[in-house]
Amino acid sequence: MSQVIFIKGLMLGIALAFILPILLPPGRPWRVPGGIVLGLATGLILAALIPGGYLSYVISFLIMASIYGLLSLGLNTQWGYTGHLNFGVAGFFAVGAFTSALMTIEAPTGVAAQYTQVLFGLEMPFLVGVATAAVVSGVVALIVAVPVLRLRMDFLAIATIGVAEIIRLIFQNERWLANGPQPLRGIPQPARCLFESEGCAWLPEGMAWIIEPLTTRDYSAFYLIVVAAFLALLYLIIERACRSPWGRMLRAVRDDEASAAMNGKHVTYARVQSFVVGAVVMGIAGALYAHYTVAIDYSHFHALFATFIVWIMLMLGGSGNHRGAILGAIIIWAVWSGTSFIASGLEPVLAAIHEELPGRAQYIRWLLVSLLLAGIVLFRPQGVLREEMRVSNYLRKDGGSRDG
Amino acid sequence: MAVPGTDHEQPAAEAQRLGERLREMTRTRTFLIATLIVILALMYLFGALSGAGSRLMSLTAWGLMLGGVIALGSIGLTLVYGVMKFPNFSHGALVTLGAYVTYTVLPLLPDGPTLSPLSFGYEFLVAMVVAMPVVGAVAIALDRAVYRRLRRTGSHLVLFAMASLAMAFFLRSLIYLIWGPDFHFYYPGQPNPAFRLPLNIRVQGDQVFILVMAFVFVAGVSALLEWTKMGKAMRATADNPDLAGVRGINTERVIAWTWGLGGALAACGGVMYGLSSQLRPEMGFWLLLPMFAATIMGGIGNPYGALIAALIIGISHQVSTSFLDPTYGPAVAFVLMVITLLIRPQGLLGRDGG
Amino acid sequence: MPLLKVDDVTAGYGDMEILRNVRMEVAEAEVVALIGPNGAGKSTLMKTVFGLLHPKSGTITYKDRPIHGHEPHDIVGLGLCYVPQVDNVFTTLTVEENLDMGGYLLPDSQLPERREWVYEFFPRLRERRRQRAGKMSGGERQMVAMGSALMLEPQLLLLDEPSAGLSPKLVDEIFDNIQNINRAGVAVLMVEQNAQKSLEMAHRGYVLANGENRFDGTGRELLADPDVARLYLGG
């Protein structure tokens, strides 16, 4: 095994070691250590067995699946736990992406400034960008939440679709803000210098040889670790929060608002809180997306890509279940990626029907995915994984009495 | 001096009562109307300040026409929303479908003379009349395939909304597959002369036609709801579906009629929208927010309300173009909708407590 | 031949059985009262008869025709009409429109005549025929509900707690109305909280408890029965 393959395998393994413990069945003591060992082993084996081109496909698949996992997780805190019908996921995703991009990008000067206009480019570190994305997305959610959350569920759905559309319109039209409608390019990637020939200034002398043979093409393996770490961290935090009294209150609010109010719960606050928390997670997902793709524009945040598919993920995984939400994201992203093969496989058939059809094969993917959502809604609305009933750490698994 | 005993004893309670009275006052129809008037006035002011003063009358006229398009789309939406009680996100796709079906039927018909001052001939109206039942049938088929199953299992409103979102994307991908992503025109390259009215207003014959059609259809649907047995049964089903069944109304049949009518009207809206601009697969989605805004502002289930609200939204949209990028049209509609929801969620013509 | 025959019916929601092996009969032009404590299954029985709930086992026949498993809009054409306890008028429709919806299955030409017949029983509805039912008082709504059910000239009227929530004076008025309707030849099956009053008026009565038949007999017999009196008449 060459050094390059080993390091790439190790990076993939570390990323999987973050993701797999989430996906393994809960309530088993070996879940975390087992997941870590399994993840590391899988990473190394995959790197050793499959050729480099396919390996980068696996890596980019996992990055996008994890970003969607975060979106699904965020939506789950809103819908699965409080019953907010947010049809505007794309909006918060976009706010996160553009915020982090503007925080970290270098403001163009001279001739470049004629082609790329931005409100500001602060050249801040990556983590500051992500944190700001989270905050701004949360603030936008708060602004939306205050007037809209006390409305009926169906009005909320319409209103959030509207919010997402307006956010998209702003990034499309306002050149001064983030170069709309042209793409905003040159979003920096964290620690990318490690993979560049000059190396990073902050890296200790003795360490350089480890990453020396890697090139910028291998950067995505490192970025996968970053994304996976965010996914694992946010999963842990939200899982904790939802098992706390706060999470139980959210469920009480969702299942029966009137009686929750009678029990002295601050129903309105609870609803706003969960909406904002969900939006924060979506904003972080947006930031991670921006730094992954390096160039973003408004068309990336279409309702199709960033709202509809997230709902399918969550519905498949089973709302009210964070593990299911992430599992659903991975499965649906696999299905979605798979449909591109179906679509290209169908091209000869389409060509036989009409000469123009092969060029439209991509729309077959949307057809299949929309039928998938309809199928889930009709036949398995509770999702593949049901909501776990054990919501309190103080309840035993058998649903028995309180032991404290 | 204030009435003795009230100003010193319980200032907190007094303040609370004042707050309640204020809230009562702001929840009224009058307050909503006043707010909308103020917003419209502000828009005209902005328009005048940004130097579009001479164009404002023309913009208003065009706004009325755009309102006609939105109204035609909204009647079907408000009807389905009122009876079925869920926001049908696939209504925009039905609008698009109607426009495209007409586009396909049109070349099959013999070209008639152009009905001056309109830009089209009889064949265009025939094509539209063919498209309307087709889209109505599609709406009924979707109901049979999806929504009826959900009704049978007593599903929550949320699942209906989600299923309609799925159907929106389903129809949209079908439209892309069949007709492709390119723009189309009903009569490419045909001149569409505008005639000049007093006050330097320029309008096209087509635009007037659209507006007249919106009024005719709204009056027709309202008459249907008010006077015919099926219309009354629709209102009864909207009011209380269980009781409607108990009274001998076959609610499934009523619902099928509602979908059929809603789909046909959506098609008509799409055709008029296509006539006034161009056909593209996203046209219905663009219209979705204005249509929902008109439906909610007018009061769900109320065609007259939808018409009035659509005209307000159309005018606001056009006037706002004098100081905003025109692509922000849906945003203007959205803001008006949110204002309505905040002041009076049952809309301009909705009943209290509904 | 009984008009309505409920035989050995078991019914409920989901896995929960509310009625167990219930029997009941209503003869032509008879007033039958169904009484029992809260949760005894009286309203459930009414809903099961009317097809709003399908029985798990047992048969329900109307004029010897099985009607269990049929939908309400099919049953209503056979000659039995149902007045639910709550939400029994279309609040956004006028009185006249409510009546027309009651006569939905009739040809339009017959509607005016039928409305006149209903106004004979409830003259007050004629005065208010243009008013929306949602703006009316509880007693008036009950009249609209009963009037709508009468539009099809049923032979059997099912009333679910017609006097619930009404003032004593209105209760008397509603009971007078029921009596008048019965005198016109319409059989009445009613669920009532007001057991005393309904048994006084009823030809026969059934007492349900825990979803099962407990007692039955003529109105007088039940009123005289010390067990019934102790348990359900508050005596």
Q: Do C73 and B248 touch (CB under 8 A)?
A: yes
Q: What is the mean pLDDT of chain C?
A: 90
Predicted confidence band at A398 (pLDDT cuts at 50, 70, 90)?
very low
Q: Is the pLDDT of residue B353 over 80?
A: no
d(CA B36, CA B41): 9
pLDDT tens by residue, C17-38? 899 999 999 999 999 999 888 8
| Residue with the two structure tokens 């008013």 | C131
Compute φ and ψ for A375, nearest 5 degrees: -65, -45
pLDDT of residue A396: 39
Look at residue C162 and give its three-state secondary structure: coil
Chains with ≥3 CB–CB distances under 8 Å to A: B
DSSP C209: E
User: DSSP labels for C35-49?
Assistant: E-STTSSHHHHHHHH
Is 70 exceeded by the pLDDT of residue B240? yes
Residue of C nearest to B250 (CA): C73
- The beta-carbon neighbor of B243 closest among C87, C97, C108 is C87
Q: Using the beta-carbon criterion (under 8 Å), do A366 and B330 form an inter-chain contact?
A: no
pLDDT digits (tens, 9 = 90+) for B116-172: 778 888 999 999 999 999 999 999 999 999 999 999 888 888 889 999 999 999 999
Contact check, Cβ <8 Å, B232/C152: no
For residues B48-60, average pLDDT: 83
The alpha carbon of residue C74 and the mean position of all alpha carbons in its chain are separated, in whole angstroms, by 17
Rounded Cα distance between B346 and B344, Å, is 5
Give the start-to-end residue ranges of the domains of chain B: 76-281, 289-354
> Across the interface, which of C82, C97, C100 has its CB nearest the CB of B246?
C82
Q: Do A311 and B162 touch (CB under 8 A)?
A: yes
Q: Which of C119, C165, C120, C126 is nearest to C142 (CA)?
A: C165
Q: What is the pLDDT of residues B244-288, one digit of tens each?
A: 988 989 999 999 999 999 999 999 999 999 998 889 999 998 899
Average pLDDT over residues C183-204: 90
The answer to whether the Cβ–Cβ distance between A377 and B159 falls below 8 Å is yes
C-alpha–C-alpha distance, residues A194 and A212, integer Å: 8
- In three-state secondary structure terms, A264 is coil
Residues in chain B closer than 8 A to C71 (CB atoms): 245
Q: Which residues of A touch B143 (CB under 8 A)?
A: none
Interface pTM (ipTM) of the complex? 0.88
A24 phi, psi to nearest 5 deg: -65, 155
Chain B residues in contact with C53 by the CB 8 A cut-off are none
Pick from C77, C84, C91: CB nearest B246: C84
Indicate which of B184, B334, B339 best probes the interface with A, i.e. most A CBs within 10 Å of its own CB: B334
Residue A401: the pLDDT is 35
Residue C17 β-bridge partners: C12
Task: Give the nearest partner residue to A378 out of B89, B146, B181, using CB atoms.
Answer: B146
Helix (H), strand (E) at residue C16: strand C16-26
Is residue A90 predicted with pLDDT exceeding 60?
yes
Q: Is the pLDDT of residue A135 over 90?
A: yes
Mean pLDDT of chain B: 88
Which amino acid is residue B249, in one-letter code?
Answer: I
For an interface test with A, which of B156, B177, B343 has the most A Cβ atoms less than 10 Å from its Cβ? B177
Chain A residues whose beta carbon lies within 8 Å of the beta carbon of residue B168: 370
Question: DSSP letter string over A267-333?
Answer: HHHHHHHHHHHHHHHHHHHHHHHHHHHS-B-GGGG-HIIIIIHHHHHHHHH-TT-HHHHHHHHHHHH
Q: Would you state the pLDDT for residue A392?
A: 40
d(CA A207, CA A209): 6
Long-range CB pairs of C161-166 (<8 Å, 24+ gap) are C161/C43, C161/C85, C161/C190, C161/C191, C161/C192, C161/C193, C162/C83, C162/C190, C162/C192, C163/C192, C163/C193, C163/C194, C163/C197, C164/C85, C164/C193, C165/C138, C166/C138, C166/C139, C166/C142
Q: Is A167 exposed, middle or buried (0-12, 13-18, 19+ CB in 10 A)?
A: buried
User: With contacts defined as CB-CB under 8 Å, which chain C residues touch B244?
Assistant: 90, 101
Q: How confident is the model at residue A385 (pLDDT cuts 50, 70, 90)?
A: low
Interface of C to B at Cβ within 8 Å reads 50, 52, 71-73, 76-77, 82, 84, 87-93, 97, 100-102, 104-105, 108, 134, 148, 152
In Å, what is the CA distance from C16 to each residue of A172, B24, C20, C21? 56, 45, 11, 14
Which chain C positions have a beta carbon within 8 Å of B242's beta carbon?
52, 84, 87
Q: Do residue A169 and residue B169 have CB atoms under 8 angstroms apart?
A: no
How many Cβ atoms are within 10 Å of A345's Cβ, its own excluded?
11
Residue B315 confidence (pLDDT): 95
Task: Enumerate chain A positions whose Cβ falls within 8 A of a Cβ in B.
Answer: 83, 85, 87, 147-148, 151-155, 157-159, 161-163, 165-166, 169, 172-173, 303-304, 308, 311, 315, 356-357, 359-360, 363-367, 369-371, 373-374, 377-378, 381
Token pair 């009647």 is at which residue?
B75
Q: Dump the DSSP string for A226-260.
A: HHHHHHHHHHHHHHHHHHSHHHHHHHHHHH-HHHH
Residue C148 has pLDDT above 70, yes or no: yes
Q: Hey, are the CB atoms on B232 and C52 less than 8 Å from each other?
A: no
How far apart CA A374 and CA A376 sit, in angstroms, is: 5
Residue with tokens 């019934």: C228
Query: How, if at all, do strands C4-13 and C57-62 pair?
Result: antiparallel
Are residues C72 and B250, on separate chains, in Cβ contact within 8 Å? Answer: no
pLDDT digits (tens, 9 = 90+) for C63-117: 999 998 888 888 888 989 999 988 899 999 999 999 999 999 999 999 999 999 9
pLDDT above 80 for C119: yes
By C-alpha distance, the chain B residue nearest C49 is B246
Residue found under tokens 């009480």? A252
Concatenated DSSP letters for C74-124? HHGGGTEEEE-SSS-S-TTSBHHHHHHHHTTTS-GGGHHHHHHHHHHH-HH
Please check the confidence at residue B4 and state whether its pLDDT lies above 50.
no
Q: How many CB atoms lie within 10 A of CB A380?
A: 13
B neighbour chains, 3+ CB pairs within 8 Å: A, C
Q: Of the candidates B232, B239, B244, which has its C-beta nearest C91's C-beta? A: B239
Write the residue in C50, C108, C148 that is nearest to B229 by C-beta. Answer: C108
Residue type, C52: L
d(CA B159, nearest CA chain C) in Å: 21
A376 is written with which tokens?
């889930």
User: What local confidence, expressed as pLDDT, does residue C149 receive?
Assistant: 93
Tokens, residue C11: 């019914």
Contact check, Cβ <8 Å, C105/B243: no
Cβ neighbours, 10 Å, residue C75: 23
Contacts of B184 (CB under 8 A, 6+ apart): B100, B103, B278, B279, B280
Provide the sign of the torsion angle of the four alpha carbons A374, A377, A383, A384, taken in this order: negative
pLDDT at residue A282, as a whole number:
96
Domains detected in chain C: 1-79+189-235 (3.40.50.300)
- pLDDT tens profile B76-102: 999 999 999 999 999 999 999 999 999
Pairing of strands C187-191, C156-160: parallel
